[in-house]
Amino acid sequence: MLDVIDLNIEFHDHLIPETVVYDFDLHMDPGDIVGLVGESGSGKSMSAMAIAGLLSRRDMKKRGQILFEGTDLLSCERSHLRSLQGDEISIVFQEPMTSLNPVYKIGWQVEEPLRIHYPEMSKEERKQKALKMLADVDLDDPQRVYDCYPHQLSGGMRQRVMIAAAMICGPKLLIADEPTTALDVTVQAQIVKLLKRINREKKTAILFISHDLSLVRQLCQRVVVMQGGNVVESGTIEQIYENPKEAYTQRLIAAIPKCEKKKRAVKEG
């Protein structure tokens, strides 16, 4: 479904061009859940934004290929890319309060992808689809949430709203860019559980970007580790966590709190 081949991203807003992603490769089949991990500035979010088609600055240069079902997203017509964004490829960001418009009600914002991609759909059809999607992401009283403004919801509820909006068109690929960072640990676990259910029931492939390796281990099947714009190691969850080869990966795993390791050992035991 997705093949990223030798992706390089350069900024040209200084006298000397700066490369922030080097020869990035990624393969995903339908229904895969892949974790993209690394510290801040490692290039993981930049790579994800390129896949989503959200890097269009004139002072930025991208080389390589991003093949989505055979179409190169780096060279295709802009109109074709727009037809995929929010429909076939969706994204959920870290902080929903900056993604949601404070002056529009939740229902209007969840329905937005439908207005863009399915303009023939009636107002009532959009509303019913939005209400069902709000229920599908485990929001109690979808009608009340539908009529709320973003500030009237908790952080966890707002993140569920963003997932509902991202999933309403039934995308084949969901990019989750650190969607749990701004949430407390209890809500983090709930969001991870929700993403696992979406993957299981809807067969949506998920690219999960995070610096929290304990969450990645709970959710993902494979993991790609980035440092300084380079992929330093990749493999299955078991390979990376049980037998990391690179010193950087070893340090990331060593940084997982001991309580998380103990909980994992109990579950696996």
Structural domains of the chain in order of their starting residue, each with its CATH number:
1-88+175-269 (3.40.50.300), 96-170 (no CATH)
The tokens of 157 are what?
């509820």
What's the rounded mean pLDDT across residues 202-230? 93
- pLDDT, position 57: 59
- pLDDT, position 268: 42
pTM: 0.90
Confidence of residue 266 (pLDDT cuts 50, 70, 90): very low
pLDDT at residue 158 is higher than 60: yes
